[in-house]
Amino acid sequence: MNILVTGANGQLGSEIRYLVINEKNVIQNSKLNIQNYNFYFTDKNKLDITNKKEIEEFVNKNNIKIIINCAAYTAVDKAESEKELADLINHKAVEYLADISKQKDISLIHISTDYVFDGKNYKPYNENDKTNPQSIYGFTKLKGEEALKKSNAKGIIIRTSWVYSSFGANFVKTMLRLKDKKELGVVFDQIGTPTYARDLAKTILEIVDKHYEKLNNFKAEIFHFSNEGVCSWYDFAKVIFEIKDIDIKINLIESKDYPTPAKRPHYSVLNKNKIKKEFNVKIPYWRESLKRMLSYEV
Ligand SMILES: NC(=O)c1ccc[n+]([C@@H]2O[C@H](COP(=O)([O-])OP(=O)(O)OC[C@H]3O[C@@H](n4cnc5c(N)ncnc54)[C@H](OP(=O)(O)O)[C@@H]3O)[C@@H](O)[C@H]2O)c1
């Protein structure tokens, strides 16, 4: 079966590629039959998802049966001043992928974000909780979800949060880059859950491999995925430095004292019960995943 992974040079796309190429044994040990699939890893230069004709030609030529859309405009603050580009990638391009998937009977796995919520909840968000994005990024991602639902294409949407990886740019790498400073200020009033992109990549591959029929029966069904547990960015930073045994003073700051162009939800913890139940997913605790990532990478 032929699988297209878009945005393959980003954090999630790179982790999927890493698992497929470098950890065949690990995947086989977990009984994933990855050898049954041909993966086409593409990024903007090879396949620009904002070009509908290019996507059509690619999926026809390569007889694609599943698309995993890891491509996105993810610069949350920059999106405030690049609304059109963010909308083109996070919304219009998803509409193209969805239309083509519907037309060609392809299953589409699309990734969305906790930033579709306003953060006013006091308990973890369920998939059917009311959305109310506070930023252009969140708004364009929600539009992408809606376009997918409207298309009636087969597949699922996985909302995730606070993604990090040894590939690409993220909070963990930013903290480690700042390790020589005497002290740092990190916000403590935004609460969420970090997601190691490798754990999400593994879950996506397991869904493809073990639950292909189910995947085909869903129509843009939404699922939530992050690691287990809850923390603030402050706690996240503390644990990164603890694990790496780096002595640095971290000061607690409030979001109001760290103004950013995009407003972020104060609380965006995701409830993962649905994905755990439907696909029998085992999700590691965030500190364990972070330890794993930091132990052999960065
Ligand atoms: N990062 C997070 O904290 C976070 C949190 C919640 C949800 N998510 C969602 O999770 C998914 C994966 O995120 P990520 O962290 O892996 O993102 P990422 O590292 O920014 O990767 C996104 C990739 O998409 C590529 N891309 C951009 N425009 C494209 C186009 N027109 N055609 C093809 N590829 C294009 C980017 O290439 P360039 O870099 O060359 O532009 C980049 O390689 C996204 O849907 C994101 O919205 C992420």
% residues pLDDT > 70 (the chain): 96
Cα 171 to ligand 1 centroid, rounded to whole Å: 15
214: left (phi over 0), alpha (psi -120 to 50) or beta: alpha
Q: Is 116 in the pocket of ligand 1 (CB under 6 A)?
A: no
Confidence of residue 29 (pLDDT cuts 50, 70, 90): low
Cα 245 to ligand 1 centroid, rounded to whole Å: 31
Q: What is the pLDDT of residues 160-210, one digit of tens each?
A: 999 999 999 999 999 999 999 999 999 999 999 999 999 999 999 999 999
Q: List all residues 6 or more positions away from 57 whose beta carbon is below 8 Å from its beta carbon.
A: none
Q: What is the pLDDT of residues 55-86, one digit of tens each?
A: 999 999 999 999 999 999 999 999 999 999 99
Q: Is 4 in the pocket of ligand 1 (CB under 6 A)?
A: no
Confidence of residue 30 (pLDDT cuts 50, 70, 90): low
Rg of the chain over all Cα atoms, to the nearest angstrom: 19
For all residues of the chain together, what is the average pLDDT? 94
Q: What is the pLDDT of residues 101-126, one digit of tens each?
A: 999 999 999 999 999 999 999 999 99
Q: Is 76 in the pocket of ligand 1 (CB under 6 A)?
A: no
Instruction: Please report the pLDDT score of residue 25 as a whole number.
Output: 53
Q: Is 54 in the pocket of ligand 1 (CB under 6 A)?
A: no
Query: Which tokens is 213 given?
Result: 């029929």
Find the mean pLDDT for residues 150-166: 97
Q: Is 10 in the pocket of ligand 1 (CB under 6 A)?
A: yes
Ligand 1 atom closest to 14 (CA) = 16
Contact criterion met (CB below 8 Å) for 242 and 235: no
Cα 74 to ligand 1 centroid, rounded to whole Å: 5
Q: Which of 91, 117, 163 to mutate to test the pocket of ligand 1 (most atoms within 8 A of CB)?
A: 163
3-state secondary structure 97-155: HHHHHHHHCCEEEEEEEHHHCCCCCCCCECCCCCCCCCCHHHHHHHHHHHHHHHHCCEE
Find the mean pLDDT for residues 4-31: 82
Cα 73 to ligand 1 centroid, rounded to whole Å: 6
Catalytic, 285? Answer: no
Confidence of residue 47 (pLDDT cuts 50, 70, 90): very high
Cα 17 to ligand 1 centroid, rounded to whole Å: 14
Instruction: Quickly tell me which residue has 């994933």 as its tokens.
Output: 32
% residues pLDDT > 90 (the chain): 92
Q: Can you tell me the distance from the alpha carbon of 223 to that of 242, in angstroms, rounded to the nearest whole number?
A: 32
Contact criterion met (CB below 8 Å) for 197 and 171: no
Confidence of residue 298 (pLDDT cuts 50, 70, 90): very low
Q: Is 86 in the pocket of ligand 1 (CB under 6 A)?
A: no
Confidence of residue 28 (pLDDT cuts 50, 70, 90): low
Instruction: Please report the pLDDT score of residue 297 as a whole number.
Output: 59
Confidence of residue 32 (pLDDT cuts 50, 70, 90): low
Ligand 1 atom closest to 159 (CA) = 7
The CB density around residue 214, as the number of other CB atoms within 10 Å, is: 13
Query: Which of 40, 96, 137, 164 is labelled catalytic?
Result: 137
